[in-house]
Structure 1
Amino acid sequence: MELDGRVAIVTGAASGIGLALARELVRRGARVVVGDLHRDATEAAAASIAGGVGGETPSGDDRVRAVPVFGDTSDPTVIAAQIAAAQAAFGPVDVYFANAGISTGAGLGATEEEWSRSLDVNLMAHVRAARALVPGWIERGSGYFVSTASAAGLLSQIGSATYTTTKHALVGFAEWLSITYGDDGVGVSCVCPMGVDTALLRPKHTVGAEEALMLHTVESAGVVLTPEAVATAVLDAVEQGQFLVLPHPEVLEMYRGKGADYGGWISGMRRLQRALRKSVTSKGKS
């Protein structure tokens, strides 16, 4: 899909990958609804994008290119408000970036509330947005849905059952969406990065043992990319109509190795977990 002149919604867009996506979309000529949870951060992000702060608007174009809609983007009423704001400011939505995500809970000790919240944000937010947009795209014969999943959705995430499970489910939903509606003009991309330099990887709060294990696993898995590098890879993939987006190319080889020898891969992940637990414990004692 050519992005110049398109209308996009980006969730989780006040920081990290979402903000980088929104800025790069505007640089490529799109107009964007910036969605995030908190009013001040969402409005500041939209203002910075529209004003060219931290990113460039198209040369000579002083029109508003980004508008904010704050709220819980797993809530159907907020999704509806995003779509309505896009329509009012720019026109019908062409592409939706379901980018917001959370990492909460850990192992079997994760609470029912943590499981419910993880499923809501990491999976059902995508389902609800697709439900709201895809029928209209089918009528128009075009539209594009982008799900930010994770390499954890292909490989698994040491240290977090909630994150692993919801991201696996999300990859499955994105595959189903593409298979079911690809012949109707609906494009789908599923983004599966490893470490990205965002608050999700480097939280400001004090982390528990399992979260520390998860973060250490990601940090040690490979290069930690900037949000801008991921945004560029994602939008290049959208323009090329590519389904699986791997900002870390090595994930493909890991995924192939998993499929070729599932038992060996499980054993290898256990060994890795043991080594990482020792490393985290040693850091905690130092």
Structure 2
Amino acid sequence: MKLKDKVAIITGAASGMGKAEALTFAREGAKIIVADINFSGAEEVAQLISAEGGRALAIQVDICQNSDIKQLVTHTLNQFGRIDILVNNAGIFDHYKTSLETNESEWDKIININLKGPYMATNAVLPTMLDRGEGTIINIASVAGLVAGKGGAAYTASKHAVIGYTKHLASAYASQGIRVNAICPGTIITPLVKDIINNIPVENIPAKRFGQQEEVAELAVFLASNQANFVHGAAIPIDGGFTIQ
């Protein structure tokens, strides 16, 4: 098992890629904190993990609320004693809205969840990781953080910023035992894109197919494992070749 006895917090883990990451991490031996604003969904994922013989704790979290984030860390430390891995997975999409189509409240919501959320969660777990001299943070960005045209104005801006934040964290904390990397999924079949998937031309993807949630989860497992000990500050596309064109 690649993550045996590791303790992992995964935000947005009640569905989509977060759920796949939680299940896959658990199968690799990690103890999982299933963090999501959707508590019933988080409980269902925790029950699935328990049914497979793993250990999981569901916690309701609004990642934009500092009090929720503090409670998340406190509950995790009380339950498992440490935090080895943080996956900043929670995020929302803007359905390709241009700047003029995006009102201020929509902009703020996207930036808060996609960028402020990872910042707040990271700052909450970093002190305990630094005290132990080790820890791994994985930010789920997007190919929209590498190129334009895979999201709207707010989403594209937020994911570019997540990649920049990832690189800053890696530069600032690598010497203190903290590894930080970003995953940049292309079009992955998830509930987040279920309403638009039929309008996305698969012909634009060299692999001629969309990605699966489990493929992203397996990449996250690698980055969280000791096999990736020399990987710092990377922004890795998993997109069927979309960004090489």
| Gap regions ≥5 residues in structure 2 | none
Other-structure match for 2:82:
92
- The partner residue of 1:166 within 158, 180, 186 is 158
Q: Is the 8 A contact 2:143 2:150 kept in 1?
A: no
Alpha-carbon RMSD: 2.0
Sequence identity (%): 29
Task: Supply the distance in 2 between the matched residues of 1:158 and 1:218 (Cα, whole angstroms).
Answer: 12
| Gap regions ≥5 residues in structure 1 | 58-63, 204-211, 255-286
Q: Is the 8 A contact 2:166 2:180 kept in 1?
A: yes
Task: Supply the distance in 2 between the matched residues of 1:19 and 1:161 (Cα, whole angstroms).
Answer: 27
Partner deviation per Cα, 1:14-60 (whole Å, 9 max, x = no partner) = 111101111111111110100111221111111111112xxxx4xxx
Q: Is the 8 A contact 2:186 2:240 kept in 1?
A: no
Question: How far 1:215 sits from its partner (Å)?
Answer: 7.5
Residue 72 of structure 1 aligns to a residue whose secondary structure is coil
Question: How far 1:251 sits from its partner (Å)?
Answer: 4.6
Question: How far 1:4 sits from its partner (Å)?
Answer: 1.3
Task: Supply the distance in 2 between the matched residues of 1:191 and 1:220 (Cα, whole angstroms).
Answer: 23
Other-structure match for 1:232:
218
Question: How far 1:247 sits from its partner (Å)?
Answer: 2.2
Residue 101 of structure 1 aligns to a residue whose secondary structure is coil
Partner deviation per Cα, 1:154-206 (whole Å, 9 max, x = no partner) = 11235511111110111100011101111110001100010111011113xxx
Q: How many residues align?
A: 234
Q: Is the 8 A contact 2:16 2:190 kept in 1?
A: yes
Residue 200 of structure 1 aligns to a residue whose secondary structure is helix
Q: Is the 8 A contact 1:146 1:190 kept in 2?
A: yes
Q: Does 1:80 align with 2:63?
A: no
Q: Does 1:216 align with 2:199?
A: yes
Relative contact order (alpha carbons < 8 A, sep ≥ 6): 1 or 2 greater? 2
Q: Which structure has more helix as a fraction of its residues?
A: 1
Partner deviation per Cα, 1:228-254 (whole Å, 9 max, x = no partner) = 111012211332143333223625524
TM-score, scaled relative to structure 1 = 0.76
Change (3 A) 1:247 1:93: same
Task: Supply the distance in 2 between the matched residues of 1:229 and 1:97 (Cα, whole angstroms).
Answer: 15
Question: How far 1:81 sits from its partner (Å)?
Answer: 1.8
Q: Is the 8 A contact 2:138 2:182 kept in 1?
A: yes
Structure number with greater Rg is: 1
Q: Is the 8 A contact 1:195 1:218 kept in 2?
A: no
Deviation beyond 6 Å, 4+ runs, structure 1 = none
Question: How far 1:217 sits from its partner (Å)?
Answer: 4.4
Residue 191 of structure 2 aligns to a residue whose secondary structure is coil
Task: Supply the distance in 1 between the matched residues of 2:90 and 2:168 (Cα, whole angstroms).
Answer: 20
Residue 100 of structure 1 aligns to a residue whose secondary structure is coil
Q: Is the 8 A contact 2:34 2:46 kept in 1?
A: yes
Partner deviation per Cα, 1:245-281 (whole Å, 9 max, x = no partner) = 3223625524xxxxxxxxxxxxxxxxxxxxxxxxxxx
Other-structure match for 1:24:
24
